[in-house]
Amino acid sequence: MLEQSERFEGDLAPLLAHPRRPPSRRALLTLALCDVAVEFWVAQRLLIRAGTHTAALALVRLHFEATVRAIWLHHGASDEWLDRFAAPMAPGQLAEPVLGPNVDAMLQTLAKTAPPFLAQTLGAFKAATWQPMNSYVHGGIRPVVQSLAGSTPQQLVGVLQNGNGMALLTANLLVVALQDPALAGRIGPIQQEHQACLPPMQPPRT
């Protein structure tokens, strides 16, 4: 699964590195969050290959939240929120310029403003994994048990597949945000070629 995931990344890489001329401030910020999500995706696989599985599983939540926020920023954030989010920070300021809505609130907004499969896919993933994700991020019992008993191959395969699925959503969002006709039809063939390393439930192709 690691090798399949790396081939998948190799085919996505030219699209993710496509020259960018964001058509708006919203698109610029969306693409920046896409880059953050992709970095978590790549780092997670590197950690798994290095055998640091607990750290890799802790990144599941960071990857998920970055993906949700990127999609919400493009499809659901208000112009007022964007103004506050993009405001320059004073020297030495540590607090966020604006606190974003939580994941549930973003998913509720996406259910009204985004293509239906996005909120459905992300909501189903959250429902199935939120408690385990919290446990790994906050030092709960799951990372302790994993430290004592180790990971199973099935667990790691699931993590990789879900990460690849979120990366596919991120690539699709990049295509939508850039509004570049040269990217039309690029996602579908990649998705079809790499079915084996994606989650069983996949979003429609762009």
Summarised one tens digit per residue, pLDDT across range 148-163 is 998 899 999 999 999 9
Within 150-186, where are the H helices? 153-178
Of the candidates 68, 59, 36, 7, the residue with the CA atom closest to the CA atom of residue 198: 7
Among 81, 53, 62, 63, residue whose Cα is nearest residue 142: 53
CA distance 112 to 35: 25
193 pLDDT more than 80: yes
Which residue type sits at 23? P
d(CA 84, CA 72) in angstroms, rounded, equals 16
Give yes or no for a contact between 159 and 60, defined as CB atoms under 8 angstroms apart. yes
- The span from the CA of 21 to the CA of 24, in Å, is 9
Nearest to 106 by CA among 65, 159, 153, 151: 65
Q: What is the CA radius of gyration of the chain?
A: 17
With H, G, I as helix, E, B as strand and everything else as coil, classify residue 92.
coil
- Our CA angle for 47, 51, 52, nearest 5°, is 55
Report pLDDT digits (tens) over 24-55: 999 999 999 999 999 999 999 999 999 999 99
DSSP state of 186: -
Q: Which amino acid is at 173?
A: L
Note the pLDDT of residue 202.
Answer: 47
pLDDT at position 143 over 80: yes
- Higher pLDDT among residues 203 and 156, named by residue: 156
Surface-to-core class of residue 90, CB atoms within 10 Å of its CB (0-12 exposed, 13-18 middle, 19+ buried): exposed
Domain locations in the chain?
Answer: 2-82+114-197
Residue whose entry in the numeric block shows the structure tokens 């939120």: 130
Mean pLDDT, the chain, as a whole number? 92
The residues near 147 (Cβ < 8 Å, ≥ 6 apart) are 54
Q: Which two tokens stand for residue 51?
A: 């055998």
Strand, coil or helix: what is 119? helix
